[in-house]
Amino acid sequence: MFIHWFPGHMTKAIRMMSEEIKVVDCVIYVLDARAPESCINPAFDEVIGTKPRLYVLNKADMVSQKEVIKWVDKFRRQGFRCIYSNSISKADAPVIVKNLLELNEDLIERYHQKGVNKTVRAMVIGVPNCGKSTLINSLVKEKKAVTGNKPGVTRGKQWVSIGDYIELLDSPGVLYPDFKDQDKAMRLALIGSVKEDVVDVSELALEAIKYFLAEHPSDLINRYKLGDISNKVPLEVMEEIGKKRGLIMRGGELDYERIAKIIISDFRKGYLGKYPLEKVDV
């Protein structure tokens, strides 16, 4: 399966971001904690330029804390400010605000010396479905940004205020100009950053099974009540799951699409365990 995805509205979004970056002080760069490296969009570097950035490893509840901390440490070793968050909960909101203010403390102090309270303006960026809008909503008392459980929900620009002196600009999720690295493309598809209408869901489910067979076979066995799968290939495991769930169409054939969607959904919801698709190189 070859994944290719860069529709016209994403080209437009990059142009919009390039214009709006001129009026912001910094960037909140949201990454999905399950695949942080794959969520790094090379197209953003040119947009961000020298603006300070705060990396937020979002959906941290979907992986073990031990693995998340390894990624946080890696970004910090590279000289970036980085934290992790579960944006569905508002508990991490004060930590995000604190780091945002610390990131801009020199700028705030310069204005303070002039007798002015500086309003920090930050652009929130990331690939589709990384949780940008949900993160923004966790920072405000009322639901402001549009959210959804599918990529491409946010299309236009939206400014929201957090307290008296912080403003955030939500931006559309943007994928790479091209997917030269198909392994990264596959990981982005598994976490839901690529629309399923450009992905073969059966092949995507087979990739998920392949990963769990190699890394965490017991989770497949426990979730789907399987027998010994140590010598089985992904397709055989997929078929056994379908039989266990009774996903059979008229004529006795397995409904591979339904089986695939269940497997992908179970992975995304954490029902197969809280594991990262990418690990930090030691």
- In a 13 Å sphere around the CA of 185, the CA atoms on its Cβ side amount to 19
Q: Are strands 166-170 and 53-58 parallel, antiparallel or unpaired?
A: unpaired
Provide CB contacts within 8 A for 198, sequence distance 6+.
Answer: 3, 4, 5
Residue 40 lies in a domain: yes
123 and 72 part of one domain: yes
Q: Which pLDDT belongs to residue 195?
A: 81
DSSP letter (8 states) at residue 63? S
Whether the CB-CB separation of 56 and 80 falls below 8 Å is answered with no
Q: What is the mean pLDDT of residues 219-233?
A: 95
256 and 164 part of one domain: no
28 and 155 part of one domain: yes
pLDDT digits (tens, 9 = 90+) for 144-158: 654 444 444 444 567
30 and 150 part of one domain: yes
In this prediction, residue 118 has a pLDDT band, given cuts at 50, 70 and 90, of very high
Q: How far is CA 168 from CA 26, 157, 234, in A?
A: 10, 10, 44
Whether the CB-CB separation of 110 and 125 falls below 8 Å is answered with no
15 and 114 part of one domain: yes
Residue 194 lies in a domain: no
| HEC readout, 206-261 | HHHHHHHHHHCHHHHHHHHCCCCCCCCCHHHHHHHHHHHHCCECCCCCECHHHHHH
Domain with 250 in it: 200-268
Q: Which pLDDT belongs to residue 100?
A: 95
pLDDT digits (tens, 9 = 90+) for 162-173: 888 899 998 888
Provide CB contacts within 8 A for 223, sequence distance 6+.
Answer: 266, 271, 272
Query: At 209, which CATH number?
Result: 1.10.1580.10
Q: What is the mean pLDDT of residues 227-256?
A: 94
Report the SS3 class of residue 140: coil
Length of the chain, please?
282
Q: Are strands 166-170 and 158-162 parallel, antiparallel or unpaired?
A: antiparallel
**Among the three residues 126, 154, 170, which one is the final residue of a domain in this structure?**
170
pLDDT digits (tens, 9 = 90+) for 32-48: 999 999 999 888 998 99
Separation between Cα atoms, residue 120 and residue 84, nearest integer Å: 21
Report the SS3 class of residue 187: helix
Whole-model pTM: value is 0.88
Q: Exposure of 89 by Cβ count < 10 A (0-12 exposed, 13-18 middle, 19+ buried)?
A: exposed
Residue 189 lies in a domain: no
**Among the three residues 153, 170, 187, which one is the final residue of a domain in this structure?**
170
